[in-house]
């Protein structure tokens, strides 16, 4: 198999894998592990909203894939010292680039919601912005928390 074909397959595999790493942090999305967990509900009022960026994941998977892709791209056979040094350099650069790609692909637009609960306490919550759900100061919301510490804010029907 030619080096070009190997590089194409490695890049395609990396992009498919990283796309699968993208998680959903919207207030309306639950993980499979959260389904059927008891959830505590508090009601309150939105006091402030602010757009924020939720940084992407940095699992190291992008670096591994990038490094492997770089090593394949450097390819070639032979054992000259300069080829080995070039292969190490390209693999290292690929790892760096792969790490940046992973973080960039999984970065999302978020919203910070400052909510005053009906009991008088005020908290700020950050979740992924959902174009189908917008919050404005004065909106009534429910704040739902699992016993595992996952909290989300949703519009209230009360």
Residue ranges making up the domain that contains 156: 31-55+108-158
Query: Within this chain, do residues 9 and 65 fall inside the same structural domain, yes or no?
Result: yes
Phi/psi at 114 (5° precision): -95, 120
Query: Within this chain, do residues 100 and 114 fall inside the same structural domain, yes or no?
Result: no
Query: Within this chain, do residues 74 and 142 fall inside the same structural domain, yes or no?
Result: no
pLDDT digits (tens, 9 = 90+) for 99-120: 767 776 777 889 999 999 999 9
Q: Which residue has the tokens 């189908």?
A: 132
Question: Is residue 57 pLDDT above 70, yes or no?
Answer: no
Tell me which DSSP letter residue 56 carries. P
Whether pTM > 0.75 for this model: the answer is no
Question: Per the structure block, which two tokens stand in for 143?
Answer: 């704040």
């Amino acid at each position: 198999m030619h080096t070009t074909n190997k590089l194409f397959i490695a890049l395609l595999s990396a992009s498919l894998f990283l796309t699968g790493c993208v998680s959903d942090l919207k207030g309306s999305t639950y993980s499979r592990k959260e389904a059927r967990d008891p959830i505590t509900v508090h009601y309150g009022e939105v006091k402030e909203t602010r757009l924020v960026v939720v940084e992407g994941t940095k699992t190291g998977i992008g670096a591994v894939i990038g490094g492997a892709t770089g090593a394949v791209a450097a390819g070639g056979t032979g054992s000259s010292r300069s080829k080995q040094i070039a292969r190490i350099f390209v693999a290292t650069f690929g790892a760096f680039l792969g790490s940046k790609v992973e973080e960039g692909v999984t970065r999302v637009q978020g919203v910070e919601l400052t909510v005053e609960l009906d009991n008088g306490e005020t908290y700020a919550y950050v979740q992924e912005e959902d174009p189908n759900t917008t919050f404005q100061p004065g909106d009534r919301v429910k704040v739902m928390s699992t016993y595992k510490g996952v909290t989300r804010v949703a519009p209230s029907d009360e």
